């Protein structure tokens, strides 16, 4: 009886130790909390030729296949013109940034300011200024550098992005927002969309325009095909940027061309301006750019005023706009639409944003529509007088209202005769400004690309038991179980020994 009681106690302790070890291990694994390392923020300044726009982006610190899942949380337009306009007074460009930057500081938690990166990307306006006056361009960037040294954020520098970069970043933005790179499945996890086609991107800025898409055969030797890697997948994107074919620079070329063809250097008829509209512009306004250098008159006087009188003639406007393109430079029109630039045949759906969208919106069109509808709307708009336009436009601003007719004709020639869209493929173009709350612009694609270079932070795990306590309990319970097991083995050996002795004694008992 005395031997049996310790055996039962040892078995109970052994069983209890094993059960406790399993229970603690299960609780420690299943009840752990995975804590997100939080959000990261990034600021991108889109320094365009006509204005600067500040975007604030955020994304989880852990990433999907090395690329952050980025969303736009704030947008602010800096007052005043683009930074390239400050070439003669670079010290004055910092002050207009204050209003937007103060709002940005309120949007981002104070404790994250010093870890928030700021990137400034300058586009075609600064590309032109650098070609025209590199010293002035450097002084503009030096002023920006000095301004951001006094800000609480981590300034990663200002740079001029190339035309192809601007094009491919716009393509990335459009496809990211359309869900062509990532989507959530039934289990709410991010996956790559199955057999989903990407969209082409058409961007119209102030000084340049870009076309980007994946062609039918990406392996063809088009010099403008770039490889992009996002979320673990490679894409071969054709992209090209046309300098001086942005909306503003193209219109300056038209004004310079009209002056060149006019018999009167002081009063010039403009068929693209509305009827009864008159404005006086200095020669410097439209002839000082590199884009209009070849059209500059021999008797060029920067401050001389030229009066442009609107005649509202849609047919003549189209004729003059067509002269801005060199459609005879290539022998093979199929792969070389204009200006000796080789381009594969357009394929699939496209999204047209920035200047494309604003012009289409002014014509009271939206989304996608037929080429015939566009032409009729354009003709109707261009036939209106200046007084009538003031009642037609939802938001009336003179500098834009007077130019929408030109913009519409320019878009027609660029898309139809330039990129070779026709009546069948035109409806595949979607004119769009944003998706959800995010603007379609190259800046988001820029931010997505930059997150590839930002290391992901690991997830934080909160355990029910501290590692030291968990390890101590495991050691104690395992030791207890081993001691009980050894004790039971000992009792078993002792019990067998006693049985053997008892048998021997029974054999040798005398009868």
Catalytic residues: 166
Residue position matching structure tokens 């009681």: 5
Cα separation, 496 vs 3, in Å, equals 12
- What beta strand segments (E) does 311-463 contain? 350-354, 429-431, 434-435, 438-439, 460-462
- H-helix or E-strand containing 407? helix 404-412
DSSP summary character for residue 195? T
Buried b or exposed e, range 15-52, using 16+ CB within 10 angstroms: eebbebbeebeeebeeeeeeeeeeebbbbbbbbbbbbb
Residues in the chain, overall count: 511
User: C-alpha dihedral over 79, 364, 270, 328, to 10 degrees?
Assistant: 100
Is 210 among the annotated ligand-binding positions?
Answer: yes
Q: Name the phi and psi angles at 405, rounded to 5.
A: -65, -45
Residue 235, strand partner residues: 228
To the question of whether residue 206 is assigned a binding role by annotation, the answer is yes
The answer to the question of whether 471 is labelled as a binding residue is no
Are 431 and 360 in contact by the 8 Å Cβ rule? The answer is yes
Query: Is residue 179 part of an annotated ligand binding site?
Result: no
Output the six-digit token pair for 510: 């005398």
Q: Using CA atoms, how far apart are residues 48 and 166, in angstroms rounded to an integer?
A: 11
Q: Is 73 assigned to a binding site?
A: no
Q: With H, G, I as helix, E, B as strand and everything else as coil, classify residue 155.
A: strand
User: Residues annotated in the binding site for ATP, as ranges?
Assistant: 206-210
User: Residues annotated in the binding site, as ranges?
Assistant: 206-210
């Amino acid at each position: 009886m005395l031997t049996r009681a310790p055996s039962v106690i040892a078995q109970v302790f052994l069983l209890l130790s094993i059960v406790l070890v399993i229970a603690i291990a299960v609780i420690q694994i299943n009840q752990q909390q995975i804590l997100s390392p939080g959000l990261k923020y990034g600021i991108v300044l889109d320094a365009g030729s006509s204005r600067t726009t500040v975007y604030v982006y955020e994304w989880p610190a852990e990433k999907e296949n090395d690329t952050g899942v980025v969303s736009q949380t704030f947008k602010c337009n800096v007052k005043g013109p683009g930074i390239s306009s400050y070439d003669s007074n670079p010290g004055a460009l910092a002050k207009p940034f204050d209003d937007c930057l103060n709002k940005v500081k309120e949007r981002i938690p104070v404790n994250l300011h010093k870890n928030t990166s700021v990137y400034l990307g300058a586009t075609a306006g600064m590309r032109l200024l650098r070609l025209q006056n590199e010293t002035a361009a450097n002084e503009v960037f030096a002023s920006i550098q000095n301004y951001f040294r006094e800000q609480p954020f981590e300034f990663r520098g200002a740079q001029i992005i190339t035309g192809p970069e601007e094009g491919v970043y716009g393509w990335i933005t459009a496809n990211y927002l359309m869900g062509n790179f990532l989507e959530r499945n039934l289990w709410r996890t991010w996956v790559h969309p199955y057999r989903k086609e990407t969209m082409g991107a058409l961007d119209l800025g102030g000084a340049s325009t870009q076309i980007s898409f994946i062609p039918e055969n990406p392996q063809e030797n088009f010099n403008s095909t770039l490889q992009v890697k996002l979320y673990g997948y490679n894409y071969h994107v054709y992209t090209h940027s046309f300098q001086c074919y942005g909306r503003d620079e193209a219109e300056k070329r038209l004004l310079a061309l009209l002056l060149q063809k006019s018999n009167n250097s002081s009063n010039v008829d403009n068929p693209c301006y509305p009827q009864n509209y008159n404005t006086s512009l200095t020669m410097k306004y439209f002839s000082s750019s590199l884009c209009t250098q070849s059209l500059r008159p021999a008797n060029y006087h920067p401050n001389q005023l030229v009066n442009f009188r609107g005649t509202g003639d849609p047919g003549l406007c189209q004729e003059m706009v067509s002269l801005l393109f060199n459609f005879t430079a290539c022998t093979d029109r199929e792969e070389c639409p204009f200006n000796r630039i080789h381009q594969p045949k357009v394929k699939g759906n496209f999204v047209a944003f920035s200047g494309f969208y604003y012009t289409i919106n002014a014509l009271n069109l939206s989304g996608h529509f037929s080429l015939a509808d566009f032409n009729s709307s354009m003709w109707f708009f261009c036939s209106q007088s200046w007084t009538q336009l003031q009642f037609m436009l939802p938001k009336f601003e003179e500098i834009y209202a007077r130019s929408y007719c030109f913009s519409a004709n320019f878009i027609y020639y660029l898309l139809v005769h330039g990129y070779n869209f026709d009546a069948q493929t035109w409806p595949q173009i979607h004119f769009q400004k944003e998706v959800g709350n995010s603007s379609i612009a190259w800046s988001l694609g820029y931010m997505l690309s930059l997150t590839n270079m930002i290391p992901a932070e690991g997830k934080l795990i909160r355990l029910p038991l501290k590692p030291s306590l968990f390890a101590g309990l495991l050691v104690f319970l395992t030791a207890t179980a081993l001691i009980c097991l050894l004790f039971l083995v000992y009792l078993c050996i002792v019990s067998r020994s006693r049985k053997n002795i008892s048998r021997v004694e029974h054999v040798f008992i005398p009868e």
